[in-house]
Amino acid sequence: SIEDNLKRVEQQIESLRKRAGELEEAIGSSGDPVADMETELKALVERRVAVEKELAEARARVQALEEAMRGHDQQRLIIERELEQARNRLEQLRLAESEIKVRRENLLEQLAETELELETLLAEMPEEADIDTWAKRLEEVQARIHRLGPINLAAIDEFREQTQRMEYLDSQLADLTEALETLENAIHKIDRETRSRFKATFEQVNARIQEMFPRLFGGGQAHLEMTGDDLLTTGVAIMARPPGKRLSTIHLMSGGEKALTAVAMVFAIFELNPAPFCMLDEVDAPLDEANVGRFCDLVREMSEQVQFIFITHNKTTMELADQLIGVTMREPGVSRLVSVDVEEAAAMATG
């Protein structure tokens, strides 16, 4: 090798140096012929110069080789680093390939669960769709799924049941809404009919009481007033003015006046809508003789249409009756009914 040759040359130079020194010593000590010695010395010097030149050239070559070796070492290190990077990149690609295979299998399984065909799904995807965009959308969807929390596997069945329940309730709501609308229409119709009938009845009763009151009182006047504007909720007040008195409500009248006014009101209603019979419980009790007479005259007139049943202690009123039924108590605690046909009794009395 170059290093071995260099060492060998250096050894030869060193040997020649020693030989030259020996010859110089020999020349100086022996005084032998100089010519031969000079010739030999000159040859040795020339040989030394040639060897030193060869040594310099060898050193230059060694230095060039060392620089080349250093360059090769640097290039080798660069290549080794690139090789290591390539190995790392290859390993990453292998890991990515494995991950892609696993994701592919998972996606195929998920696709199979959705019962969709891969070709159909690919055909429906837009042509300009890129991996980054869809990967970002996938991350967003996964984040939304993560925020939703654990998956309820029974949610689909529950959703189906709740959907059916909602459809049933919607149907019921529609029926109820329709029924409510029908009822509201019926209520509006009834309200209109009620207002119309109430107004007509009020006017008729008001007209009749204006006729009845003077007949029962022998004068004066009375009429009805509504206490509110709404015909469905208004009250009715009786305003009356007996002969010689001021107009007032029934609450400010005496007992007899209240009784006669109430009778006028009842008879006014009976004339409008007669009932089969009418029971009067001691209506004549607070009346004086004059008012009892007018009361009896009006009852006699109306008895052609209505059967009257009286509870009374007034003799004038009893004389008006066709039949009398009395209650006697001959023995303490024992009541007895006594019935008298007035017409038969009068016939027996006159016969």
Identify whether the C-beta of residue 238 lies closer than 8 Å to the C-beta of residue 232. no
121: pLDDT confidence band, cut at 50, 70 and 90?
Answer: low
- In words, the CATH class of domain 195-320 is alpha beta
User: Which strands make up the sheet holding 221-226, listed edge to edge?
Assistant: 221-226, 236-241, 248-249
Cα angle at 21 between 18 and 26, to 5 degrees? Answer: 125
pTM here is: 0.48
pLDDT of residue 43: 79
Two structure tokens written together for 62: 């060694």
Q: Give residue limits of the domains in the chain.
A: 2-81, 195-320
pLDDT > 60? residue 185:
yes
pLDDT of residue 1: 60
SS3 275: coil
217: pLDDT confidence band, cut at 50, 70 and 90?
Answer: confident
Two structure tokens written together for 177: 């809404």
Identify whether the C-beta of residue 223 lies closer than 8 Å to the C-beta of residue 243. no
Q: How far is CA 77 from CA 10, 72, 82, 91, in A?
A: 34, 8, 8, 21
CA distance 260 to 210: 13
pLDDT of residue 103: 82
pLDDT > 90? residue 104:
no
Mean pLDDT of 97-119: 76
Identify whether the C-beta of residue 23 lies closer than 8 Å to the C-beta of residue 40. yes
Strand-pair partners of 241: 221
Pairing of strands 236-241, 248-249: antiparallel
pLDDT > 70? residue 126:
no
29: pLDDT confidence band, cut at 50, 70 and 90?
Answer: low
Q: What is the pLDDT of residues 296-349, one digit of tens each?
A: 988 888 888 888 898 998 888 888 888 888 888 888 888 888 888 878 877 777
Q: What is the pLDDT of residues 128-182, one digit of tens each?
A: 667 777 777 778 877 887 777 776 767 778 888 888 999 999 999 999 999 999 9
Q: How many CB atoms lie within 10 A of CB 208?
A: 19
Two structure tokens written together for 40: 């030999």
pLDDT > 90? residue 189:
yes
Q: How does the average pLDDT of the chain come out, rounded?
A: 82
Helix (H), strand (E) at residue 160:
helix 155-217
